[in-house]
């Protein structure tokens, strides 16, 4: 990766962490977490496997999840990415396990010892027994919090282990598992201005002394309210979010001659900035530069019950900028996505019961198949090529669609985090086959729905029909993998459900497929469980013909607040059953065109 450092963005290069950790876990808690990570990724002795001749393979088998600074990095990642309730649960369990009596309560007889004090705390238990404890937690049916702690810790431990990089953007495990990133140096290009550079303010480079200057340099008229610690800006239109919906809306509205400001929580990247590094790239999907805190609403002057939206108040998520932004606009376009648009609208005082309901997520299950290169005409590695290269629709006997199967790429960190863990040895052997393990994604057009009323709090339960359709899709995906030449196939069920395919007959395959079902999630009461993913989120502020049927009207405008429009996937009335990106862009285009028409008719004139 050395050759590409000059061209990739600093935030996407990876490298060792600089500075102290802010996770807040105590030393005993980190010691306990290290003991759990070591049991998940244990250092294996030569007699545990056929000793490899290559020293990189030998180093991989000897590597441990307890190696510093992995436990601290795992804790840091948990605190940043998990909901507070999950962090509290993990913290509580780690604290209990740092004491002997707490370990006895959570681990039972496996913490007994023949020597004084006869009961050991978790980090003092032998590695073999710690591994047995984790297996027990994985199968736990009554004390579900232990299973949840196991799942959370396992996901973040493996993600960190296979995504962390050194100062050269390299990971010592990658060579052993057959993974590499593109290290070719990009040919030197003349320095060019980045697209939109003249109009972008990157908050990661700003502080209180430079922020005002940056705003005025962009041609914005700014007034300061020192008492409220706010900068006030006026424009024609403010767009909150720059994704498929917000980006299209901003482009259409700006091209019509309106003065448009776009608020975006993510950092600004162009194609030349990107690296192939899974860890920092996924991290930047979640990093926030600013956050729309509240919409500015006032009652209409004509006395009608409907309110009027006057803009948005935003908080800058930076320690160096303490000022808030109050952007006053004649039109506000909310394009925060289906998980964040409803919380913003509800926290601003809107009360339409459809806001936050009808959430569809295209629930996902994965299956895998191992296809050795020496017995197949299929060349290459799983992570090479396009992200999604093919698609297959599963239909029922009456020709109705049940599921969609896609051939997708998973990086080693995501693959290991999602893949079932049944033992440390099994996981390392599985990762040795990573490069030739094909993963098929199965998702359904969900008929059930959930709700999201507050940021980070989602309620969703699979309907029986959706489970049946997922099951049909998983079985068909496994048949595809067997037909493609896989010598072993399996699901992501917690017990490592799999089948050796070499020489099996169709009857044996069908008997195995009969055992493949859409089991419950981590919080379900059952010995076997799985991790569900979401392909696309939509519908949580759906469009409706009346206020009773939807949160916005046919123009995308809020029934409750004049001048407030929604331009993202949340306005879609139902799940679409395919990737909704083009649908979102098309809908946003139509809505923004109607907004421009309204401006021409002076519908949003300031005196209205």
Query: Could you tell me which residues are beta bridge partners of residue 314?
Result: 292, 325
Known binding residue 250? Answer is: yes
Helices marked H in 122-181 — which ranges? 127-138, 144-163, 174-177
What local confidence, expressed as pLDDT, does residue 441 receive?
Answer: 97
Task: List C-alpha distances in Å: 95 to 77, 90, 113, 459, 563.
Answer: 18, 9, 21, 29, 51
Burial of 154 (0-12, 13-18, 19+ CB in 10 A): buried
C-alpha to C-alpha distance for 79 and 144, rounded to whole angstroms: 21
Work out the number of other CB atoms within 10 angstroms of the CB of residue 291. Answer: 17
C-alpha to C-alpha distance for 332 and 260, rounded to whole angstroms: 10
Known binding residue 247? Answer is: yes
What local confidence, expressed as pLDDT, does residue 48 receive?
Answer: 55
Q: 3-class DSSP state for residue 298?
A: strand
Calculate the CA dihedral of residues 404, 407, 408, 410 and round it to 10 degrees: 120
Q: Which residues contact 356 (CB under 8 A, 6 or more apart)?
A: 342, 343, 346, 451, 452, 453, 540, 541
What local confidence, expressed as pLDDT, does residue 186 receive?
Answer: 59
Q: Which residues are catalytic?
A: 536
Domain range annotation of the chain: 19-177, 203-356+539-600, 363-534
Structure-block tokens of residue 316: 């800058």
Mean pLDDT by 10 residues, the chain (608 residues): 61 83 97 98 74 77 95 96 94 98 97 94 98 97 94 98 91 94 62 82 88 91 91 96 96 96 90 87 72 84 76 89 93 97 96 98 98 86 87 86 92 97 96 96 96 94 95 98 96 98 94 97 93 97 97 97 97 96 98 94 64
C-alpha to C-alpha distance for 374 and 2, rounded to whole angstroms: 32
CB-hemisphere CA count at 13 Å for 174? 21
Known binding residue 239? Answer is: yes
Known binding residue 519? Answer is: no
Known binding residue 241? Answer is: yes
Known binding residue 246? Answer is: yes
Specify the DSSP element, H or E, that contains 565: strand 564-566
Q: 3-class DSSP state for residue 272?
A: helix
Question: DSSP label at 54?
Answer: S
The label of the residue with tokens 């123009």 reads 555
The pairing of beta strand 564-566 with beta strand 324-334: parallel
Q: Which residues contact 233 (CB under 8 A, 6 or more apart)?
A: 215, 220, 221, 222, 261, 325, 326, 327, 328
What local confidence, expressed as pLDDT, does residue 305 receive?
Answer: 60
Whether residue 93 contacts residue 144, with contact meaning beta carbons closer than 8 Å, is answered with no
C-alpha to C-alpha distance for 401 and 228, rounded to whole angstroms: 55
C-alpha to C-alpha distance for 143 and 121, rounded to whole angstroms: 19
* 452 backbone dihedrals φ, ψ, rounded to 5°: -140, 110
Structure-block tokens of residue 357: 């309901």
| End-to-end Cα, the chain, rounded Å | 58
DSSP string for residues in 195-236: TTGGG---GGG--HHHHHHHHHHTT--EEEETTTTEEEEEEE
Of 607, 596, 590, 570, the C-alpha closest to 240 is 570
Known binding residue 236? Answer is: yes
What local confidence, expressed as pLDDT, does residue 70 receive?
Answer: 97
Q: What is the CATH number of domain 203-356+539-600?
A: 3.50.50.60
C-alpha to C-alpha distance for 139 and 136, rounded to whole angstroms: 5
Of 570, 574, 64, 30, the C-alpha closest to 336 is 570
Known binding residue 249? Answer is: yes
What local confidence, expressed as pLDDT, does residue 198 receive?
Answer: 86
C-alpha to C-alpha distance for 249 and 203, rounded to whole angstroms: 23
What local confidence, expressed as pLDDT, does residue 303 receive?
Answer: 55
Quick one: how many helices (H) and strands (E) in the chain? 17, 17
Burial of 210 (0-12, 13-18, 19+ CB in 10 A): middle
Work out the number of other CB atoms within 10 angstroms of the CB of residue 375. Answer: 10
Of 545, 589, 549, 598, the C-alpha closest to 568 is 589
What local confidence, expressed as pLDDT, does residue 586 receive?
Answer: 98
With both helix axes pointing from N to C terminus, report the angle between 278-286 and 144-163 in degrees, rounded to the nearest 10: 120
Known binding residue 235? Answer is: yes
């Amino acid at each position: 990766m050395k050759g590409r450092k000059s061209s990739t963005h600093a935030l996407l290069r990876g490298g060792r962490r600089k500075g102290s950790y802010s996770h807040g876990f105590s030393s005993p808690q980190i010691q306990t977490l290290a003991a759990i990570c070591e049991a998940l990724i244990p250092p294996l002795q030569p007699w545990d496997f056929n000793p490899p001749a290559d020293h990189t393979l030998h180093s991989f088998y000897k590597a441990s999840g307890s190696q510093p600074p992995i436990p601290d990095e795992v804790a840091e990642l948990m605190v940043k990415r998990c909901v507070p309730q999950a962090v509290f649960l993990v913290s509580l369990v780690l604290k209990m396990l740092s004491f002997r009596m707490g370990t006895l309560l959570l681990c039972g007889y496996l913490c007994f010892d023949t020597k004084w004090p006869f009961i050991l705390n978790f980090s003092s238990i032998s590695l073999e027994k710690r591994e047995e404890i984790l297996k027990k937690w994985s199968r736990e049916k009554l004390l579900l919090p232990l299973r949840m702690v196991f799942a959370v810790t396992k996901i973040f431990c493996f993600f960190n282990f296979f995504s962390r990089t050194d100062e050269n953007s390299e990971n010592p495990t990658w060579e052993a598992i057959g993974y590499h990133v593109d290290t070719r140096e990009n040919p030197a290009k003349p320095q060019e201005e980045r697209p939109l550079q003249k109009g972008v303010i990157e908050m990661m480079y700003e502080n209180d002394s430079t922020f005002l200057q940056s705003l005025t340099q962009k041609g914005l008229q700014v007034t300061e309210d020192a008492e409220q610690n706010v900068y006030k800006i006026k424009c024609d239109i403010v767009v909150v979010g720059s994704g498929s919906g917000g980006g299209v809306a901003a482009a259409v509205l700006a091209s019509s001659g309106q003065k448009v400001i776009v608020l975006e929580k993510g950092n600004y990247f162009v194609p030349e900035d990107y690296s192939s590094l899974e860890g920092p790239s996924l991290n930047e999907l979640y990093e926030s530069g600013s956050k729309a805190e509240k919409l500015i609403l006032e009652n209409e002057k004509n006395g009608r019950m409907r309110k009027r939206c006057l803009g948005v108040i935003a908080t800058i998520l930076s320690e160096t900028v303490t000022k808030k932004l109050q952007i006053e606009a004649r039109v506000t376009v909310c394009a925060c996505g289906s998980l964040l648009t409803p919380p913003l609208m509800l926290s601003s005082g809107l009360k339409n019961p459809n806001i936050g309901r009808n959430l569809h997520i295209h629930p996902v299950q994965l299956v895998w198949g191992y296809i050795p290169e020496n017995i197949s005409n299929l060349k290459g590695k799983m992570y090479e090529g396009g992200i999604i290269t093919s698609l297959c629709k599963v239909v029922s006997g009456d020709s109705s669609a049940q599921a969609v199967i896609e051939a997708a790429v998973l990086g080693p960190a995501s693959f290991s985090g999602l893949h079932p863990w049944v033992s440390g040895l099994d996981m390392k052997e599985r990762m040795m086959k990573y490069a030739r393990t094909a993963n098929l994604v199965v998702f359904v057009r969900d008929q059930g729905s959930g709700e999201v009323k507050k940021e980070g709090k989602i309620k969703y339960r699979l309907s029986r029909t959706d489970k049946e359709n997922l099951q049909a899709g998983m079985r068909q995906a496994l048949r595809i993998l067997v037909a493609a030449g896989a010598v072993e196939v399996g699901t992501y069920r917690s017990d490592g459900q799999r089948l050796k395919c070499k020489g099996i007959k169709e009857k044996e395959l069908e008997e195995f497929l009969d055992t493949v079902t859409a089991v419950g999630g981590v919080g379900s009461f059952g010995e076997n469980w799985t991790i569900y993913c979401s392909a696309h989120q939509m519908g949580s502020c759906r469009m409706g013909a009346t206020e009773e049927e939807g949160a916005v009207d046919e123009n995308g405008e809020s029934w409750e607040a004049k001048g407030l429009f929604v331009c993202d996937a949340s306005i879609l009335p139902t799940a679409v059953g395919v990737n909704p990106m083009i649908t979102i862009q098309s809908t946003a285009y139509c809505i923004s065109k109607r907004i421009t028409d309204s401006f021409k008719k002076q519908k949003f004139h300031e005196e209205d």
